[in-house]
Amino acid sequence: MTSEQWNAVMDINLNSMFYTCQAVIPAMRSQQYGKIVNVSSSSSWGNMGQANYSASKAGVIGLTRTLAKENGSKRITVNAVAPGQINTDMTKNLPEDVKRMATLLTPAGRMGDPSEVASVVSFLASEDSSFVNGECISVSGGFLMV
């Protein structure tokens, strides 16, 4: 892996979330309220051949938890979702044997639907999650239990 490849993935997956949070938190603090939902990945636990991707998504969890601690007293919650194998444009081009293996390693026995991730994001952005802060919720069909 080149430094350019490392930096490109960090910029997209981690730095972009840092800069977005940095931009919105001052307004949230002044209004004493806010909801931030970051996107991590089940790959944050490590994945062969994806050091840059896994590190960036693990960094999202660290960023999320730190910002939750720093801003929780201002009624700002900061959480993350960690999707597993989801049927998206990114996964549709995976080789069939890779998709089959991911399905076998997932207790749910299938890949997820984007709407299942969206439902968790919607919950975290709602008032129903007012006491949920600093969490990273896995939406992986149980993949992280394996």
* Average per-residue pLDDT for the chain: 94
Residue 146 within a domain: no
Q: Which of 9, 38, 53, 139 is catalytic?
A: 53
Domain span holding position 10: 3-141
Q: Distance between CA 49 and CA 41 in Å, rounded?
A: 15
pLDDT at position 144: 75
Residue 78, token pair as written in the block? 């900061």
- The number of distinct structural domains making up the chain is 1
Phi (first) and psi of residue 116, to 5 degrees: -70, -35
Residue 46: give its domain's CATH number: 3.40.50.720
Measured CA to CA, the distance from residue 86 to residue 83 in angstroms comes to 7
pLDDT of residue 146: 53
pLDDT number for residue 105: 86
Token pair for residue 88? 């998206």
18 within a domain of the structure (yes/no)? yes
53 is catalytic: yes
Chain segment 82-113, per-residue pLDDT in tens: 999 899 988 888 888 888 888 888 899 999 99
- Domain for residue 108, yes or no? yes
Examine residue 42 and state whether it is found in any structural domain, yes or no. Answer: yes
Q: Which residues of the chain have pLDDT under 70?
A: 146
The answer for residues whose C-beta is within 8 angstroms of residue 2's C-beta and 6 or more apart is: none
Q: Is residue 88 part of a domain?
A: yes
pTM score, whole prediction:
0.92
Specify whether the CB–CB gap between 80 and 39 falls below 8 A: yes
